[in-house]
Amino acid sequence: MTRVGMAKARAIEDIDPTPLHPIMRAVGLEKDYLLPDRTIIRVLNDISFDVAEGEFIVLTGQSGCGKTTLLRILMGLMPASQGDLLVRGERVKGCDHRRAMVFQAAELLPWRTAVGNVELGLETQGVPKAERRATAERLLDLVGLEQAHHKRPDQMSGGMRQRVGLARALAVDPDILLMDEPFGALDAHTREALQAELLRLHEEMRKTIIFVTHDLDEAVLLADRVFVLSPVGTLADVIEVPIPRPRGEPEELRTKKAFVDTRYKIWRSMKSMEGMTRPRVTADEGDAP
């Protein structure tokens, strides 16, 4: 019998508590979806990794390979079907303030100003109004929106909305920032400005970041390590980016051998997996997710 949801042999207790004390540890994560035609697809397949404190991880892979699914599990928005996820050694049971997410479209509340949107996460934490306001204003300044504190989303450009989304995520002072193609919908110029902004924030705040992108230039520019997911949802490759920080001018960086070589490595990894397809199992043969 094919058991899609079969328990993995490896449990977190079997793993040596590493001397590196990773901020995040995934062990054998799997995710199965039950489709309306009663077939099950395994979207994520035995994914294990460690992320060190302050590391910048870029997650890439072809469309539909499971990047958003993995990010949502890392955020605690939904559980994995199998496997363990730990943050600072504690098992993740749902969302909490240690992780914040930035989405492709910032998804701001349209009736609230920039300040009001950034205050949102702090309201749910019961932070007093004056303190909330001060934090929101400081973070909006930090992301370059000094002039836009009182604008509503319909009065902002796409780049401004993404900056508000980033400030909102930073407001709860998370240890880990999860970003799902946050610059994907922006024009090239705004995108470059926000990449530079994010690199600067990462230098200053040393937050751990897990960032999804399809863009290989963006991956090499931002990442310490690039995780490549295969079309069958395995973590196929982990590629180090051997470029020191601060990274400097993107245009100059793109001409450097280390940049070109790393970009080519990622491209080759993805190319080698083209055409792989996920097996489907009928629900009666396996476990429902």
Residues in touch with ligand ATP (CB under 6 A): 33, 35, 43, 61, 63-69
To Mg ion, the closest distance from the beta carbon of 178 in angstroms equals: 12
Q: Give the residue, chosen from 68, 149, 175, 287, that forms a contact with Mg ion under the rule CB under 5 A.
A: 68
To ligand ATP, the closest distance from the beta carbon of 104 in angstroms equals: 8
Other C-beta atoms lying within 10 Å of the C-beta of residue 64: 12
64 binds, among ligand ATP, Mg ion, none (CB under 5 to 8 A by kind): ligand ATP
3-state secondary structure of 68: helix
Q: CA-CA distance, 236 to 230, in Å (whole number)?
A: 6
Residue closest to Mg ion (Cβ): 68
Spatial neighbors of 135 by CB under 8 A, at least 6 apart, are 118, 119, 122, 127, 171
Q: CA-CA distance, 194 to 191, in Å (whole number)?
A: 5
CA angle, 101 then 278 then 75, to 5°: 15
* Smaller CB separation from Mg ion, 71 or 281: 71
33 binds, among ligand ATP, Mg ion, none (CB under 5 to 8 A by kind): ligand ATP
To Mg ion, the closest distance from the beta carbon of 59 in angstroms equals: 10
Q: CA-CA distance, 75 to 223, in Å (whole number)?
A: 19
* Smaller CB separation from Mg ion, 39 or 104: 104
To ligand ATP, the closest distance from the beta carbon of 184 in angstroms equals: 9
161 binds, among ligand ATP, Mg ion, none (CB under 5 to 8 A by kind): none
Q: CA-CA distance, 217 to 214, in Å (whole number)?
A: 9
Taking CB under 5 A as the rule, does residue 104 contact Mg ion?
A: no
